[in-house]
Amino acid sequence: MKINNYKLFTLDKFIEDSLYNKKYGYYMKKNPFGKNGDFTTAPNISILFSEMIAIWIISFWEKLNCPKKFNLIELGAGNGEMMRILVSTFNKFPKFQKSCKISILEKSDLLQKIQKRNIKDKNIKWLNSLNELNNFPCIFIANEFFDALPIKQFIQKEKKWYERYVKFINERKLEYIDLPFNMKKFEKKIKFNISYKQKFIEYSPLAARYLKNMTNKIKLNGGGILIIDYGYFDKEMKNTLQAVTKHKYSDVLNNYGNSDITYNLSFKLIDKIIENLGSYFSIFTTQKNFLTKLGIIERAEILSKNKPFSKKIEIYSRIKRLVDENQMGHLFKVMCITNQKKKFKLGF
């Protein structure tokens, strides 16, 4: 984005450019994961997280009556750690492995290179678009994918709606500005009443497009979507936009292109979008409930057996970080979306 003095950009355009500009976008130029990066994701905390996801995927495949060919697609694979463990786990299930065609949708060329180094599986295909998928049943996995997509913000003031913009005063000085917005026209475009009982709205047009594409695939070929992300279940939306630099929160308008910009998903809004797209079954819970119901504690007990005390402490401290209500256990939510005919409640 070429910055001119006093130029205005919608918030989602600002986020898009800050994160994904090919020259200086945050995700396009650096590896943000781990101690030396800006944040750590669940697959990098414990391999047991990815093992639980593998169990869920295999069980869901069985629910689909074990199709001889199906697509497993990870949306935004980070540094490839989760897929690395998934592939390793799938090797223990030959029938499943033979049926599974793995693809990764990744926008960042840099992260693609990191993923290929980490996973080391020549059979995995990297996609530029979901349109490249064939007509097999699809299981989509989105772990911390949607929170990295650009969002718009709308604010109600004195019963009138405004859209948030970012104003560039100069290279270093940026500020928010809210401009009048025609909400009725917008709701006609997206085909549902998003402003009902709301005073503040966060909405990602790109996320809505992904959900539409994925549900279309499910409608035609069968399958489902598993979403794991920061989020909340409240009906009333709120301002959750934030930036993270070196594992600490920072100002969204500072460090343009050098910090992660993210937000907490409104799972009620996702549910509303899905409801508007057709007859789908959706269910959600907390990460704590999901992982414990899949057996992560029991798996930790097996893994820690005959291990030195220090190793046991490490295993359980990592699990605690994933499931503790005061850590990631309640902060992260999990959602499953399937055909009405293939309701699937494992983990929920």
Any domain includes 320: no
User: Which residues constitute the domain of residue 240?
Assistant: 1-41+152-217+227-265
Tens digit of pLDDT at every position of the chain (348 positions): 455 555 899 999 999 999 999 888 898 887 777 667 677 899 999 999 999 999 999 999 999 999 999 999 999 999 999 999 999 999 999 999 999 999 999 999 999 999 999 998 889 999 999 999 999 999 999 999 999 999 999 999 999 999 999 998 876 789 999 999 999 999 999 999 999 999 999 999 999 999 999 999 999 999 999 999 999 999 999 999 999 887 788 899 988 888 899 999 999 999 999 999 999 999 999 999 999 999 999 999 998 888 888 999 999 999 999 999 999 999 999 999 999 888 899 999
- Whether residue 26 contacts residue 127, with contact meaning beta carbons closer than 8 Å, is answered with no
107 torsion bin: left (phi>0), alpha (psi -120 to 50), beta (else): alpha
Any domain includes 108: no
pLDDT value at position 40?
A: 84
pLDDT value at position 39?
A: 77
Domain count, the chain: 1
pLDDT value at position 6?
A: 57
Any domain includes 340: no
pLDDT value at position 250?
A: 87
Q: Please, which contacts does 182-189 make with residues 24 or more away whose CB atoms are closer than 8 Å?
A: 183/154
Any domain includes 91: no
Contacts of 61 by beta carbon, 8 Å cutoff, 6+ apart: 67, 70, 96, 99, 100, 139
Any domain includes 103: no
Using CA atoms, how far apart are residues 125 and 141, in angstroms rounded to an integer? 15
Any domain includes 317: no
Any domain includes 207: yes
pLDDT value at position 33?
A: 78
Any domain includes 72: no
pLDDT value at position 144?
A: 96
Task: Extract the runs of DSSP E, i.e. beta strands, from 246-345.
Answer: 248-250, 260-262, 265-266, 280-286, 332-339
